[in-house]
Structure 1
Amino acid sequence: MSVSPVLALTTGEPAGVGPELAVMLATEAPAAGAADHRVVAVGDPDLLAERAAALGRPLELVELAPHEAPPAPCPGRLPVWPVPLRAPCRPGVLDTRNADYVLETLDRAIRGCRDGEAAGLVTAPLHKAVILEAGHAGFRGHTEYLRDACGVDEVVMMLATDRALHAEAPDWRGDPALRVALATTHLPLREVSDAVTPERLTRVLRILDADLRRWFGVAAPRIAVCGLNPHAGEGGHLGREELEVIAPTLARLRQEGLTLDGPLPADTLFTPRHLAGVDAVLAMYHDQGLPVLKYAGFGRAANITLGLPLVRTSVDHGTALDLAGRGEADPGSLAVAVALAADMARRGGHA
């Protein structure tokens, strides 16, 4: 593993803020103490050049051949694995003809990680609806696409805040300050209860425990697990999933050596007293845990996919079509995602 890992950065939906965030990242001096890493954008060089010109940021684009090593990092220079757009693109204007372009950038980045060209993958946001409307039925998002592309049975979505925002918070073991993983991801709320099964919880918690050890260097992870219902079911009066599914599953996993607290009421779990000493929280569904995390650190948090044979991080926001091309997007989350991917790559090495 190189001491200066190469990270593949997919530029996401071309009509969104992804391309200009890549430009911003490449043209700004790294923060003091930032990890040493090299970023290769995956996208259309002409698109990146257009966004750089629109932002008034001088940018040297270096197109790389397959397996060509990127140059040393330098503000104002951006190496690129070129993938051509399928159709001309205007900021803020979606075009289904470019859906295949977005998926091709992902495929190129995944291939680069598998072939040893990159130590990790960072993704700018894509637009799920335009990919579905282009005919890719069943597309659920980056997380599920990467799961299928890598041939694994289960992945876990986890978001993490930047520890620097939490200097006043109780000291937690490891970085960042708050990690929230999800037992279910992009499901309608009425389907969540049926999806919270002993089998799913077992797979998710095993992955979460293993990857906190591998990628984050947590020697003995402590995981707090939310209940599904208000007040964690109130002893069965507000739902029986805690009694019949969650608690028995946690008991079995504790016998395997996992350190698990719960099931706990979500409305009080996310408080400093209950979070002290906790390495990650497992929420049962998307909007149970992520609103808390995004309130704590939106724009300075990253999305991580656990359970893959490669490092993958992403931003904590969407395509922001209303901001695209205006120079008003904030690259903070992308900077966190890149720094976190570099740290993970160093810590865990190649799978």
Structure 2
Amino acid sequence: MKPVIGITMGDASGIGPEIIVKALQSAQVYEQCKPVVIGDYKILERARNIVQADVKIHKISQLSEALFQHGTIDCVDLDLLLEDLPFGQVSSEAGNAAFQFIKKAVELAQAKEIHAICTAPLNKEALHKGGHLYPGHTEILAELTGTEDYSMLLSSPNLKVIHLTTHVGLIKAIEMINPERTYTVIKLAHETLTRAGKIRPSIAVCGINPHAGENGLFGNGEEEEKLIPGIEKAKAEGINVTGPYPADTLFFRAVRGDFDIVVACYHDQGHGPIKVLGLEEGVNITVGLKGGIIRTSVDHGTAFDIAGKNIADERSMLAAIRDAIELAPKDLQ
């Protein structure tokens, strides 16, 4: 069976609607999944006209009405926005709507009507103006699903990286790493890839210090204190994990195919290699959400400056849909 992928429209004043319509012109997408947009019919119809797409927008109120046919874009219409919503402007209406699209997607995922969520970008200022005081998608999804232990996973065609810490300074990041967090993220990586159909995924943990500490030569024993106990605990449960490895060679080995996923210790350690491989192919994924919900996202913002001009690039959206298909839990399909 093809997984049903729920695509949320994001901030309607940005490029989200355009890149969704552009991406869903692809016959290959429909060969691999059943996509459905969760958003606003009027805005999606406007985007169709802007990009001059040879498709029809099919307004539905529930998924049983979806056609899932190439040439027709099914849209669960929440009808929250005016057709003449200005492009490139922060508005409370668009911010609230972006939140409601996510909320509806979570409800559909919890009801097992969709198998993964793929998000177009939202604008944080607009989100706050709309009365929803979250830093972004991840925190919204965590609260709506009642999840405490989750992680950011970045994906490109030849590399997957999951993070122990993300948006904190380097000193704070090292302070935050502990054996339990190391174990938890290793387990999240294992469970995510296993549910996606990967048999005994190979997980490699990156060291904190140069040369992974080189037996105490660099650092203050962080690998031995913070990483190795978590690795050993996961190994004892039968998880195929090794490390810690030096960062300067590990990512090369992972891209070569030696490992299925790398556990990075902090933001730049994981983000740098992914972005060197190509911004247009990078996908941001939230894993560990309760119910096995997978969320993928484009790796760019709302691009207010080019919204409505038919120049937005849909490749990151196509990559996000691709990863949603790949990681959608097979036991739900």
Q: Same fold judged by TM-score > 0.5?
A: yes
Using the TM superposition, give the Cα deviation of residue 274 of structure 1 relative to its aligned residue in structure 2, in angstroms: 8.2
2:180 to 178, 195, 199: 199
Using the TM superposition, give the Cα deviation of residue 34 of structure 1 relative to its aligned residue in structure 2, in angstroms: 6.5
2:89 corresponds in structure 1 to 93
- Label 1:258 to 1:15 Cα distance change in 2 as closer, same or farther (>3 A): same
AA aligned opposite 2:135: R
Distance in structure 2 (CA, Å) of the matches to 1:146 and 1:89: 26
Percent identity over the alignment is: 32
Are positions 1:260 and 2:241 aligned together? yes
- Equivalent pair of 1:159/1:316 in contact (CA under 8 Å): no
- Equivalent pair of 2:18/2:47 in contact (CA under 8 Å): yes
- Equivalent pair of 1:35/1:343 in contact (CA under 8 Å): no
Are positions 1:47 and 2:43 aligned together? yes
- Equivalent pair of 2:96/2:132 in contact (CA under 8 Å): no
- Label 1:69 to 1:346 Cα distance change in 2 as closer, same or farther (>3 A): farther
- Equivalent pair of 1:156/1:208 in contact (CA under 8 Å): no
**Runs of 5+ in structure 2 lacking a partner?**
none
SS at match of 2:7: strand
- Label 1:90 to 1:267 Cα distance change in 2 as closer, same or farther (>3 A): farther
1:64 to 37, 60, 64: 60
SS at match of 2:5: strand
Using the TM superposition, give the Cα deviation of residue 320 of structure 1 relative to its aligned residue in structure 2, in angstroms: 2.2
Using the TM superposition, give the Cα deviation of residue 259 of structure 1 relative to its aligned residue in structure 2, in angstroms: 2.4
- Equivalent pair of 1:8/1:42 in contact (CA under 8 Å): yes
2:327 to 344, 347, 351: 344
Using the TM superposition, give the Cα deviation of residue 100 of structure 1 relative to its aligned residue in structure 2, in angstroms: 1.4
SS at match of 1:299: helix
- Equivalent pair of 2:41/2:57 in contact (CA under 8 Å): yes
Distance in structure 2 (CA, Å) of the matches to 1:252 and 1:94: 47
Are positions 1:159 and 2:154 aligned together? yes
Are positions 1:81 and 2:93 aligned together? no
Higher helix share: 2
- Equivalent pair of 2:193/2:327 in contact (CA under 8 Å): no
Are positions 1:296 and 2:277 aligned together? yes
- Label 1:236 to 1:275 Cα distance change in 2 as closer, same or farther (>3 A): farther
1:22 corresponds in structure 2 to 20
Using the TM superposition, give the Cα deviation of residue 106 of structure 1 relative to its aligned residue in structure 2, in angstroms: 0.2
Using the TM superposition, give the Cα deviation of residue 19 of structure 1 relative to its aligned residue in structure 2, in angstroms: 0.8
1:251 corresponds in structure 2 to 232
Would you say how many aligned residue pairs link Structure 1 and Structure 2? Answer: 329
2:287 corresponds in structure 1 to 306
Within-5 A mapping of 1:106-121: 106-121=102-117
1:328 corresponds in structure 2 to 311
SS at match of 1:287: helix
Question: What is the CA RMSD across the aligned residues, in angstroms?
Answer: 2.4
Using the TM superposition, give the Cα deviation of residue 61 of structure 1 relative to its aligned residue in structure 2, in angstroms: 1.8
Using the TM superposition, give the Cα deviation of residue 346 of structure 1 relative to its aligned residue in structure 2, in angstroms: 6.6
Distance in structure 2 (CA, Å) of the matches to 1:99 and 1:39: 23
Using the TM superposition, give the Cα deviation of residue 329 of structure 1 relative to its aligned residue in structure 2, in angstroms: 1.6
Kindly provide the CA deviation profile for residues 250-305 of structure 1, in whole angstroms up to 9, marking residues without a partner as x. 12322222222222222322214885420100111222111211221321233322
SS at match of 1:68: helix
Distance in structure 2 (CA, Å) of the matches to 1:245 and 1:72: 48
**Runs of 5+ in structure 1 lacking a partner?**
163-176
SS at match of 1:78: strand
Using the TM superposition, give the Cα deviation of residue 225 of structure 1 relative to its aligned residue in structure 2, in angstroms: 0.9
1:179 corresponds in structure 2 to 160
Using the TM superposition, give the Cα deviation of residue 67 of structure 1 relative to its aligned residue in structure 2, in angstroms: 4.3
Distance in structure 2 (CA, Å) of the matches to 1:119 and 1:243: 39
- Equivalent pair of 1:61/1:78 in contact (CA under 8 Å): yes
- Label 1:264 to 1:37 Cα distance change in 2 as closer, same or farther (>3 A): same
SS at match of 1:270: helix
- Equivalent pair of 2:91/2:129 in contact (CA under 8 Å): no
SS at match of 2:304: coil
2:219 corresponds in structure 1 to 238
Distance in structure 2 (CA, Å) of the matches to 1:256 and 1:280: 18
